[in-house]
Structure 1
Amino acid sequence: MSALDTLIRTEASLLLRNPTALFMALAFPAVLLLMQGFVIPGTREAVTGVNDPLLDGLRVIDLFVPIALTVALGSVALTNFPSAIGGYREQGVLRRLGSTPIGPHRILASQLIVSAVSLVGGAFIATGAAMLLLGAHGPQSVLLVVVTFGLSAIAMLSLGSIIAARAATAQSANGIGMLVFIASLFTAGVWTPGPLMSEPLRQIAGYTPLGAASQSLSAAWYGQPFPAVQLLVLIAWMIPSAFLAFRTFRWR
């Protein structure tokens, strides 16, 4: 078994032993979606007031399903991942690994892999809960949803890497990440789904990373026109974020 395999198993084990991180990764998107469906009045009624034939026959809660996928992206990429790396920096793990054949880069790779798997798991759980418990519609284009979700995941992990690159402690990483995450929930449409936003606000939200992810996933989910602009926005966030994180990363 290679060193990377061992580290991946270790990181996965640590995640399973952390109730808060496990909840944020796997349960939070589904819980938020189910609360929208069962607690907030009117979310299980048909969409009205929107002049879009592609939304005919959909309920308000249906619009929240792709948004729940973005919640899975943000909760892992902006909170769990930076907190884990900040904790390793605080404990001197990154510095100590730098003097061993394992190297600190492998722990970063293992944490990224475990984070990616956990956010995919959170997305699957949220989607399954929506379809089984709320009777939500499945995606119109599964392939486009998968491609869009993958690109969104890379973009969000790149953004989270900036926090992970500089945060001195797990607490500071979690605090910064949570602030960015809460702000991103608004642009993602958690409070008001994208199709129900005013057009100026929707345009602005589409240029934020989680807003672009939400709009592109919604377009793929409901068979709307190909979200070329939103996908380009994700790439525009991804490349500079990854470069900045790489250039500013602190090992100690």
Structure 2
Amino acid sequence: MTDPAMTRRSPSASTALLKTETRLFLRNPVALFMALGFPAALLLLQGLLIPGTRTPLNGPGSPTALDLFVPMALCVVAASVGLTNLPSTLGGYRQLGLFRRLGATPAGAHRVLTAQLVVSAASLLLGAAVAAGIAVLALGAQAPRLPFAAVGIFLLAALSMLALGAVIGARTKSAQAANGLGTLALFASLFFAGVWTPGPLMPEPFASMAAFTPLGAATESLTAAWYGDPVDPLPLAVMAVWTGGCALLAVRLFRWR
């Protein structure tokens, strides 16, 4: 007969899987870099190696080029985790038959999927905190003028990237295939977000298209909130549509085998 006290002390299947997923993430140098290192490296490159990025653009007190890059760097965190880490993990688990094997156990395959989503979301939030801390505390960038709006916009951006990444990982049969597709989506998203070509310098029709991509809309909204400007509801609606649409599509397309 099972001791009730032992049952209470033993971790649930969900908790055990969450701990396992966390350990696997911490042992994966590529995933750690994409979540924590890549956005921080972009900020440090801008702030320390490129001349003039920390000089006010329009006199004392005005934003610097680095200030304008900070909201974009936070969006990069969401994209790098959502479009590379999450899909490659899902593809790798499908390749190894992990979903199939867990589906035949009381733990259930859905629990490892939930655990992976939780770990991805947590690493994304940690990466954003690291990037924002480096920007504000180490490089002297401006803090957000509308902090609550900025946090809300970032969370919506994160959801849209995780949902898009879930679509990529819904059917890919290997980690390599998922990583390849995710990397293509990442670099396309970074382009439309203005990482490679700033929005005002982006040629038409790409500039018009950028506002209707999830990361382009996220960058526009987060930049407005960061500097206290009115937030246009259209980019928020764009992110919400991408989030809902991709989430539904991922559920419909997801293959356990």
Q: Structure 2 length normalisation: TM-score?
A: 0.91
Identity %: 56
Pairing 1:123–2:133 present: no
Does residue 235 of structure 2 align to residue 225 of structure 1?
no
Cα offset, 1:202, TM superposition: 3.9
1:61 to 66, 71, 74: 66
Task: Quote the Cα distance in structure 1 between the aligned partners of 2:197 and 2:20.
Answer: 39
Secondary structure in 2 aligned to 1:166?
coil
What do residues 33-54 of structure 1 show as CA deviations (whole Å, max 9, x unaligned)? 1101222233223336xxxxxx
Q: Which amino acid is the alignment partner of residue 211 of structure 1?
A: G
| 1:99 matched to 2:100 | no
2:45 corresponds to 1:35: yes
Within 2, Cα distance between the matches of 1:79 and 1:198?
A: 27
Q: Residue 240 of structure 1 aligns with which residue?
A: 245
How far apart are residue 25 of structure 1 and its match?
0.8
The whole-number CA distance in structure 1 between the counterparts of 2:188 and 2:142 is: 28
In the TM superposition, what whole-angstrom CA distance separates every residue of 1:36-79 from its partner, at most 9, and x where no partner exists? 1222233223336xxxxxxx701111001011111100110000
Matched, 1:10 2:20: yes
Letter matched to residue 32 of structure 1: L
User: Which residue type is aligned with residue 124 of structure 1?
Assistant: A
TM-score (norm. length: structure 1): 0.93
Of 36, 39, 45 in structure 2, the residue corresponding to residue 26 of structure 1 is 36
Show the 5 A alignment for 1:44-55: 44-47=54-57
Q: Any idea what the Cα deviations from partners look like across 1:151-203, whole Å, max 9, x if unmatched? A: 11111111000111011000000010001101111111212344665786543
Q: Is the 8 A contact 1:64 1:193 kept in 2?
A: no
Gap regions ≥5 residues in structure 1: 49-55
Which residue pairs with 2:171 in the alignment?
Answer: 166
State the shift of 1:6 in Å: 1.1
Matching residue of 1:51: none
2:145 aligned counterpart, secondary structure: coil
Q: Deviations over 1:70-107 (max 9, x none)?
A: 11001100000001110000000000111111111111
Root-mean-square deviation (CA), in Å? Answer: 1.8
* Pairwise CA distance, 1:206: 1.2
Question: 2 CA distance for matches of 1:192 and 1:58?
Answer: 19
Larger CA Rg, structure 1 vs 2: 2
Aligned residues between the structures:
246
- Equivalent residue number for residue 7 of structure 2: none
Give the counterpart of 1:213 among 206, 215, 218: 218
Could you give the per-residue CA deviations for residues 193-239 of structure 1, whole angstroms, max 9, x where no partner exists?
44665786543211101111111111111111123111000011111
> 2: CA distance between counterparts of 1:88 and 1:232?
33
In structure 1, the partner of 2:191 is: 186
Q: 2:149 aligns with which of 123, 129, 144?
A: 144
Structure 2 residue matching 1:34: 3-state secondary structure: helix
Gap regions ≥5 residues in structure 2: 1-10
**Counterpart code for 2:38:** F
Match of 2:138 among 106, 121, 133: 133
The SS at the match of 1:46 is coil
Match of 2:86 in 1: 81
Moved more, 84-93 or 128-137: 128-137
Instruction: Kindly provide the amino acid, as one letter, of the partner of residue 151 in structure 2.
Output: V
